[in-house]
Structure 1
Amino acid sequence: MDTSTEAVERNGLLSAIAKDAMSALRPLLEPVVLAKNSMLSTSGKVPEFCYFLEGGIASIIMTTSEGRSCEVGIVGREGAAPIAGLLTGQSAPFDAVMQVEGYALRARTKNFRPVLLAHPAVSEIMYRYAQSFLVQTASTALANANYSVEERLARWILMCHDRIDGDRVSLTHEFLSLMLAVRRPSVTTALHVLEGRRLIHSERSLVVVRDRRGLEQFCQGCYGQAESAYRDLVATLRPNAPS
């Protein structure tokens, strides 16, 4: 099982935990492959595992009692999902589902919590990450209220691009409509707008980023706040992070 230093360093949270704390945490981690649509947590249930993603993208989804749902955030190799069970020991408030297949190191929640409570270095990282994720959800609410569908699409493409290697992002129209809380025809129209500006190339279930800087400029400021918060709160704690 690959819980080597190299494997741990592929996840942004684990790579920021001090060595003495990692020595206690490492035996709890096991590698898993996560297929598309794998459920990492279910709303209303206490999560059995916490997944520290090394690849792929998980969608964090809130659903009403009437069955209406909306994505409130995404998690990739920078973070972990779900974190509610770790921090509180209570049931998860959201569904977490893999939208882009990947892999992770996972730990049983009941085994991880004692390490978190015994090692301030671990709890510090997790609470800092929770704060950065809160900024991400707030940024999503801000974008939904103030920016066009095309600008919001550019933001989500950038967020997904941040969490993969290369420029080819596997994104279905169904996933994009959930991300943006709009109907699928609106997604198609928005993709055409970005293609027309030569910012992306879109195929069935695939978006290719052609001009990242252009996408950032097109966002008109709705991208970057959450990313800056993560850098300040979490990334700066990594041993080799620039000062």
Structure 2
Amino acid sequence: MLAEFGSASRERVFPYLERIEVKLGDVVREAGGVLEHAYFPDGAVLSLLTALENGAAIETANIGREGAFGLFASMYGRTSFNRSLVQLEGGLLRVPSEVLRAEFQRNENIRHLFVCYPETLLAQIQQTVACNSVHTTQERMSRWLLMMHDRADGRLDIHA
């Protein structure tokens, strides 16, 4: 997603990017947590988990290099609805919410990018729900592995 920023936006936002390394299973943000940064995966893949009343959680989406976690929460000062968990270790680029908020207000192209991305994420969630309701466990696992492979730039280490 960062590749879609225009040159003026890059000049204003990129100096504030901070790269952090994350490990498998790290929690980037708990559900209900305040988001002070937005996170752009750069090698890492994040799973968005929705907590259930019984304490369990289900993956509703995953985010790789194509997306971001915390855009809307950053724009509007909201808390995170989902737990964000590292599914594939690597890097995350994070930027303070106030920097993105200023760019969102200043730049129409950034507004368009940030408003269109949730549609893509919603389509992924809808497809996941549909697949989970009609496909076998093996088919669902195959879909998940393919999605992870795509978001991992073709590198997916699987250990038994």
Q: 1:116 aligns with which of 91, 104, 107?
A: 104
Query: C-alpha displacement at 1:167, in angstroms?
Result: 4.9
Aligned amino acid, residue 65 of structure 2: R
Q: In structure 2, what is the equivalent of residue 75 of structure 1?
A: 63
- Output the CA distance in 1 between the equivalents of 2:155 and 2:101: 37
- Output the CA distance in 2 between the equivalents of 1:49 and 1:40: 10
Larger Cα-atom Rg: 1
Indicate yes or no: 2:36 matched with 1:48.
Answer: yes
What runs of 5+ residues in structure 1 fail to find an aligned partner? 1-12, 171-202, 205-243
Query: C-alpha displacement at 1:83, in angstroms?
Result: 2.5
Q: In structure 2, what is the equivalent of residue 184 of structure 1?
A: none
How many corresponding residue pairs?
Answer: 160
Indicate yes or no: 2:15 matched with 1:15.
Answer: no
Q: 1:98 aligns with which of 80, 86, 94?
A: 86
Q: 1:36 aligns with which of 5, 21, 24?
A: 24
| Residues 63 and 126 (structure 1), Cα distance of their counterparts in 2 relative to 1, 3 Å cut | same
How high is the TM-score relative to the length of structure 1? 0.62
- Which residues in structure 2 correspond to 1:104-183 (within 5 Å)? 104-170=92-158
Q: Deviations over 1:172-200 (max 9, x none)?
A: xxxxxxxxxxxxxxxxxxxxxxxxxxxxx
**Identical residues among aligned pairs (%):** 26
| Residues 150 and 165 (structure 1), Cα distance of their counterparts in 2 relative to 1, 3 Å cut | same
Query: C-alpha displacement at 1:100, in angstroms?
Result: 1.2
- Output the CA distance in 2 between the equivalents of 1:25 and 1:86: 14
Contact 2:148 2:156 in 1 (8 A): no
Query: C-alpha displacement at 1:64, in angstroms?
Result: 2.0
- Output the CA distance in 2 between the equivalents of 1:64 and 1:167: 31
Q: In structure 2, what is the equivalent of residue 63 of structure 1?
A: 51
- Output the CA distance in 1 between the equivalents of 2:19 and 2:31: 24
Q: Which has the higher contact order (CA 8 A, sep 6+)?
A: 2
Query: C-alpha displacement at 1:26, in angstroms?
Result: 1.2
- Output the CA distance in 1 between the equivalents of 2:75 and 2:128: 23
Contact 2:37 2:96 in 1 (8 A): yes
Q: Secondary structure at the match of 1:161?
A: helix
How high is the TM-score relative to the length of structure 2? 0.92
- Output the CA distance in 2 between the equivalents of 1:138 and 1:40: 24
Aligned amino acid, residue 90 of structure 2: G
Once the two structures are overlaid, the 10-residue window that deviates more, 124-133 or 37-46, is 37-46
Q: Secondary structure at the match of 1:81?
A: coil
Runs of 4+ in 1 over 3 A off after TM superposition: 165-170
Contact 1:61 1:70 in 2 (8 A): yes
Q: In structure 2, what is the equivalent of residue 194 of structure 1?
A: none
Aligned amino acid, residue 125 of structure 1: L
- Output the CA distance in 1 between the equivalents of 2:154 and 2:132: 27
What runs of 5+ residues in structure 2 fail to find an aligned partner? none
